[in-house]
Protein backbone atom coordinates (compact mmCIF):
# COMPACT_ATOMS: atom_id res chain seq x y z
CA UNK A 1 0.00 0.00 0.00
CA UNK A 2 2.83 2.37 0.86
CA UNK A 3 4.37 1.92 -2.59
CA UNK A 4 1.06 2.71 -4.27
CA UNK A 5 0.63 5.77 -2.09
CA UNK A 6 4.11 6.94 -3.05
CA UNK A 7 3.35 6.37 -6.72
CA UNK A 8 0.15 8.37 -6.38
CA UNK A 9 1.94 11.28 -4.67
CA UNK A 10 4.73 11.24 -7.26
CA UNK A 11 2.16 11.29 -10.05
CA UNK A 12 0.51 14.31 -8.47
CA UNK A 13 3.96 15.88 -7.99
CA UNK A 14 3.06 16.60 -4.35
CA UNK A 15 5.56 18.89 -2.69
CA UNK A 16 4.41 18.33 0.88
CA UNK A 17 4.07 14.57 1.18
CA UNK A 18 4.82 14.19 4.87
CA UNK A 19 1.30 14.70 6.17
CA UNK A 20 -0.56 12.77 3.49
CA UNK A 21 -1.98 9.34 4.30
CA UNK A 22 -4.60 7.09 2.79
CA UNK A 23 -7.18 8.87 4.91
CA UNK A 24 -6.35 12.37 3.68
CA UNK A 25 -9.12 14.28 1.91
CA UNK A 26 -8.16 14.95 -1.70
CA UNK A 27 -9.48 18.48 -1.31
CA UNK A 28 -6.68 19.08 1.22
CA UNK A 29 -4.00 18.28 -1.38
CA UNK A 30 -2.96 21.40 -3.27
CA UNK A 31 -2.03 19.40 -6.35
CA UNK A 32 -5.47 17.79 -6.62
CA UNK A 33 -6.55 20.22 -9.34
CA UNK A 34 -7.47 19.74 -13.00
CA UNK A 35 -3.87 18.86 -13.82
CA UNK A 36 -3.66 16.42 -10.93
CA UNK A 37 -6.89 14.76 -12.00
CA UNK A 38 -5.61 14.37 -15.57
CA UNK A 39 -2.41 12.81 -14.22
CA UNK A 40 -4.35 10.25 -12.16
CA UNK A 41 -6.73 9.47 -15.04
CA UNK A 42 -3.72 8.86 -17.28
CA UNK A 43 -1.92 6.73 -14.66
CA UNK A 44 -4.96 4.51 -14.13
CA UNK A 45 -5.54 4.14 -17.88
CA UNK A 46 -1.97 3.44 -18.92
CA UNK A 47 -0.55 1.47 -15.99
CA UNK A 48 -3.60 -0.13 -14.39
CA UNK A 49 -5.74 -0.43 -17.50
CA UNK A 50 -8.64 1.14 -15.65
CA UNK A 51 -10.89 3.77 -17.18
CA UNK A 52 -12.17 6.10 -14.53
CA UNK A 53 -15.70 7.19 -15.43
CA UNK A 54 -16.85 10.78 -15.05
CA UNK A 55 -19.05 9.74 -12.13
CA UNK A 56 -16.19 7.90 -10.43
CA UNK A 57 -13.95 10.92 -10.86
CA UNK A 58 -16.52 13.19 -9.25
CA UNK A 59 -17.02 10.74 -6.39
CA UNK A 60 -13.35 10.61 -5.39
CA UNK A 61 -13.06 12.01 -1.90
CA UNK A 62 -10.07 10.50 -0.11
CA UNK A 63 -6.64 9.26 -1.17
CA UNK A 64 -7.81 5.71 -0.46
CA UNK A 65 -10.54 6.11 -3.10
CA UNK A 66 -7.84 6.35 -5.78
CA UNK A 67 -5.72 3.57 -4.31
CA UNK A 68 -8.67 1.18 -4.72
CA UNK A 69 -8.29 1.47 -8.47
CA UNK A 70 -4.53 0.90 -8.46
CA UNK A 71 -4.49 -2.86 -8.56
CA UNK B 1 -8.31 37.13 -40.50
CA UNK B 2 -12.07 37.19 -39.90
CA UNK B 3 -12.52 33.78 -38.26
CA UNK B 4 -15.68 33.80 -36.15
CA UNK B 5 -15.70 30.20 -35.00
CA UNK B 6 -13.45 27.16 -34.78
CA UNK B 7 -14.39 23.65 -33.64
CA UNK B 8 -12.28 20.72 -32.45
CA UNK B 9 -12.55 17.88 -29.94
CA UNK B 10 -16.20 18.58 -29.16
CA UNK B 11 -15.41 22.22 -28.33
CA UNK B 12 -16.65 25.21 -30.31
CA UNK B 13 -14.81 28.49 -30.01
CA UNK B 14 -16.89 31.54 -30.87
CA UNK B 15 -15.39 35.03 -31.11
CA UNK B 16 -16.08 37.09 -28.03
CA UNK B 17 -19.10 39.37 -28.36
CA UNK B 18 -20.25 42.34 -26.31
CA UNK B 19 -22.99 40.21 -24.71
CA UNK B 20 -20.33 37.85 -23.32
CA UNK B 21 -18.86 40.59 -21.13
CA UNK B 22 -20.67 39.66 -17.94
CA UNK B 23 -20.01 35.95 -18.01
CA UNK B 24 -16.36 36.60 -18.78
CA UNK B 25 -16.19 39.11 -15.94
CA UNK B 26 -17.69 36.56 -13.54
CA UNK B 27 -15.02 34.01 -14.48
CA UNK B 28 -12.27 36.62 -14.29
CA UNK B 29 -13.45 37.83 -10.87
CA UNK B 30 -13.63 34.37 -9.34
CA UNK B 31 -11.10 34.75 -6.50
CA UNK B 32 -9.10 31.71 -7.60
CA UNK B 33 -8.74 33.06 -11.14
CA UNK B 34 -8.24 36.68 -10.12
CA UNK B 35 -5.25 35.85 -7.93
CA UNK B 36 -3.39 34.26 -10.83
CA UNK B 37 -3.69 37.19 -13.24
CA UNK B 38 -0.47 38.71 -14.44
CA UNK B 39 -2.00 42.14 -14.48
CA UNK B 40 -4.08 43.48 -11.61
CA UNK B 41 -3.87 40.22 -9.65
CA UNK B 42 -6.56 39.86 -7.01
CA UNK B 43 -8.42 42.99 -8.07
CA UNK B 44 -12.03 42.66 -9.19
CA UNK B 45 -13.01 44.12 -12.54
CA UNK B 46 -16.10 46.37 -12.57
CA UNK B 47 -18.88 46.30 -15.15
CA UNK B 48 -17.86 49.57 -16.80
CA UNK B 49 -14.22 48.58 -16.80
CA UNK B 50 -15.11 45.32 -18.55
CA UNK B 51 -17.12 47.19 -21.18
CA UNK B 52 -14.29 49.62 -21.80
CA UNK B 53 -11.83 46.73 -22.16
CA UNK B 54 -14.08 45.05 -24.72
CA UNK B 55 -14.33 48.26 -26.76
CA UNK B 56 -10.53 48.47 -26.79
CA UNK B 57 -9.94 44.91 -28.00
CA UNK B 58 -12.94 44.25 -30.24
CA UNK B 59 -11.28 45.38 -33.45
CA UNK B 60 -7.73 44.41 -32.59
CA UNK B 61 -5.74 42.92 -35.44
CA UNK B 62 -3.25 41.42 -32.99
CA UNK B 63 -5.55 39.51 -30.68
CA UNK B 64 -8.30 36.90 -30.73
CA UNK B 65 -10.70 36.20 -27.89
CA UNK B 66 -13.04 33.22 -27.97
CA UNK B 67 -15.74 31.85 -25.71
CA UNK B 68 -15.48 28.04 -25.54
CA UNK B 69 -18.72 26.07 -25.66
CA UNK B 70 -19.16 22.44 -24.69
CA UNK B 71 -22.58 20.99 -25.45
CA UNK B 72 -23.80 24.56 -26.02
CA UNK B 73 -22.69 25.64 -22.55
CA UNK B 74 -20.15 28.47 -22.25
CA UNK B 75 -17.29 27.17 -20.09
CA UNK B 76 -14.34 29.49 -20.59
CA UNK B 77 -12.52 32.11 -22.59
CA UNK B 78 -9.41 31.32 -24.62
CA UNK B 79 -7.33 34.10 -26.09
CA UNK B 80 -4.16 35.07 -27.80
CA UNK B 81 -2.88 38.63 -27.70
CA UNK B 82 0.19 40.65 -28.64
CA UNK B 83 0.49 38.70 -31.88
CA UNK B 84 3.68 39.62 -33.67
CA UNK B 85 2.99 38.95 -37.34
CA UNK B 86 6.68 39.35 -38.23
CA UNK B 87 8.02 36.86 -35.68
CA UNK B 88 4.81 34.78 -35.87
CA UNK B 89 4.27 34.51 -32.14
CA UNK B 90 1.66 35.45 -29.57
CA UNK B 91 0.76 35.39 -25.89
CA UNK B 92 -2.09 32.96 -25.09
CA UNK B 93 -4.32 32.95 -22.05
CA UNK B 94 -7.39 31.27 -20.68
CA UNK B 95 -9.91 31.64 -17.93
CA UNK B 96 -12.54 29.03 -17.10
CA UNK B 97 -15.69 28.52 -15.16
CA UNK B 98 -13.79 27.10 -12.17
CA UNK B 99 -16.46 24.69 -10.99
CA UNK B 100 -16.91 23.20 -14.45
CA UNK B 101 -13.17 22.95 -15.09
CA UNK B 102 -12.55 21.26 -11.73
CA UNK B 103 -15.13 18.61 -12.46
CA UNK B 104 -14.23 18.20 -16.14
CA UNK B 105 -10.45 18.40 -16.46
CA UNK B 106 -10.35 16.64 -19.83
CA UNK B 107 -12.83 19.10 -21.34
CA UNK B 108 -10.65 21.93 -20.06
CA UNK B 109 -7.63 20.49 -21.87
CA UNK B 110 -9.71 19.91 -25.01
CA UNK B 111 -10.39 23.67 -24.95
CA UNK B 112 -6.66 24.36 -24.69
CA UNK B 113 -5.90 21.98 -27.54
CA UNK B 114 -8.66 23.46 -29.73
CA UNK B 115 -7.37 26.98 -29.15
CA UNK B 116 -3.73 26.06 -29.72
CA UNK B 117 -4.72 24.22 -32.92
CA UNK B 118 -6.21 27.53 -34.03
CA UNK B 119 -3.05 29.47 -33.14
CA UNK B 120 -0.71 27.07 -34.92
CA UNK B 121 -2.84 25.80 -37.79
CA UNK B 122 -5.04 28.77 -38.68
CA UNK B 123 -2.91 31.72 -37.60
CA UNK B 124 0.21 29.73 -38.55
CA UNK B 125 2.23 30.99 -35.60
CA UNK B 126 5.70 29.55 -35.07
CA UNK B 127 5.51 29.72 -31.29
CA UNK B 128 3.50 30.99 -28.36
CA UNK B 129 4.93 32.30 -25.13
CA UNK B 130 3.73 33.42 -21.77
CA UNK B 131 4.78 34.54 -18.32
CA UNK B 132 3.58 32.58 -15.28
CA UNK B 133 3.83 33.59 -11.64
CA UNK B 134 6.58 31.57 -10.00
CA UNK B 135 4.28 30.76 -7.09
CA UNK B 136 1.54 29.47 -9.39
CA UNK B 137 2.52 25.80 -9.34
CA UNK B 138 -0.79 24.78 -10.88
CA UNK B 139 -0.26 26.95 -13.97
CA UNK B 140 3.33 25.78 -14.31
CA UNK B 141 2.30 22.10 -14.30
CA UNK B 142 -0.59 22.96 -16.60
CA UNK B 143 1.62 24.71 -19.15
CA UNK B 144 4.17 21.92 -19.07
CA UNK B 145 1.42 19.40 -19.80
CA UNK B 146 0.55 21.32 -22.98
CA UNK B 147 4.23 21.30 -23.94
CA UNK B 148 5.49 24.69 -22.77
CA UNK B 149 9.17 24.76 -21.95
CA UNK B 150 10.38 26.75 -19.01
CA UNK B 151 13.15 29.10 -20.09
CA UNK B 152 15.19 30.44 -17.22
CA UNK B 153 14.04 33.98 -17.53
CA UNK B 154 12.40 35.85 -14.69
CA UNK B 155 10.97 39.29 -14.70
CA UNK B 156 11.23 41.68 -11.78
CA UNK B 157 7.76 40.80 -10.52
CA UNK B 158 8.43 37.10 -9.99
CA UNK B 159 7.18 35.67 -13.27
CA UNK B 160 8.84 32.94 -15.33
CA UNK B 161 8.96 32.79 -19.11
CA UNK B 162 7.51 29.77 -20.95
CA UNK B 163 7.67 29.07 -24.66
CA UNK B 164 5.90 26.54 -26.90
CA UNK B 165 7.03 25.85 -30.47
CA UNK B 166 4.53 24.50 -32.98
CA UNK B 167 6.48 21.22 -33.36
CA UNK B 168 6.62 20.63 -29.62
CA UNK B 169 2.93 21.44 -29.32
CA UNK B 170 1.79 18.94 -31.95
CA UNK B 171 4.00 16.23 -30.43
CA UNK B 172 2.55 16.83 -26.95
CA UNK B 173 -1.05 17.21 -28.15
CA UNK B 174 -0.93 13.98 -30.15
CA UNK B 175 0.38 12.00 -27.18
CA UNK B 176 -2.27 13.46 -24.86
CA UNK B 177 -5.09 12.85 -27.32
CA UNK B 178 -4.07 9.22 -27.65
CA UNK B 179 -4.74 8.80 -23.94
CA UNK B 180 -7.89 10.94 -23.95
CA UNK B 181 -9.31 8.90 -26.83
CA UNK B 182 -8.44 5.65 -25.14
CA UNK B 183 -10.12 6.74 -21.95
CA UNK B 184 -13.04 8.91 -23.02
CA UNK B 185 -13.15 8.78 -26.82
CA UNK B 186 -16.64 7.37 -27.03
CA UNK B 187 -18.06 9.68 -24.40
CA UNK B 188 -16.54 12.85 -25.77
CA UNK B 189 -16.71 12.06 -29.46
CA UNK B 190 -12.97 12.53 -29.84
Chain segment B57-69, per-residue pLDDT in tens: 999 999 999 999 9
Parallel, antiparallel or unpaired: strands B127-133 and B89-96? parallel
Q: What is the pLDDT of residue B26?
A: 94
Contact B173, B113 (CB under 8 A): yes
Q: Which regions of chain A are under pLDDT 50?
A: none
- Partner-chain residue, chosen from B105, B137, B182, that has the shortest CB–CB distance to A38: B105
| A25 contacts chain B (CB < 8 A) | no
Which residues of B fall below an 8 Å CB-CB distance to A? 101-106, 108-109, 137-138, 141-142, 145, 179, 182-184, 187
The string of pLDDT tens digits covering residues B157-183 is 788 899 999 999 999 999 888 888 877
- DSSP lists the bridge partners of residue B7 as B12
Q: CA–CA separation, A27 vs B80, rounded Å?
A: 32
SS3 assignment, position B44: coil
**C-alpha distance from A40 to closest chain B C-alpha (Å):** 11
Amino acid sequence: MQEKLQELLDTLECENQANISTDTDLSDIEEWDSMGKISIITLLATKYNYTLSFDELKALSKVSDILKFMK
Amino acid sequence: METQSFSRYGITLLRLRREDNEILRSWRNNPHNAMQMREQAGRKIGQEEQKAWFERIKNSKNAFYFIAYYKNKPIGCLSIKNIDWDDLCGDPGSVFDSDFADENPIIKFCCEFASHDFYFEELKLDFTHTFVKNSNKQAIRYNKFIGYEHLEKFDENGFSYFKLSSNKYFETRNAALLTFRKVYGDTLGL
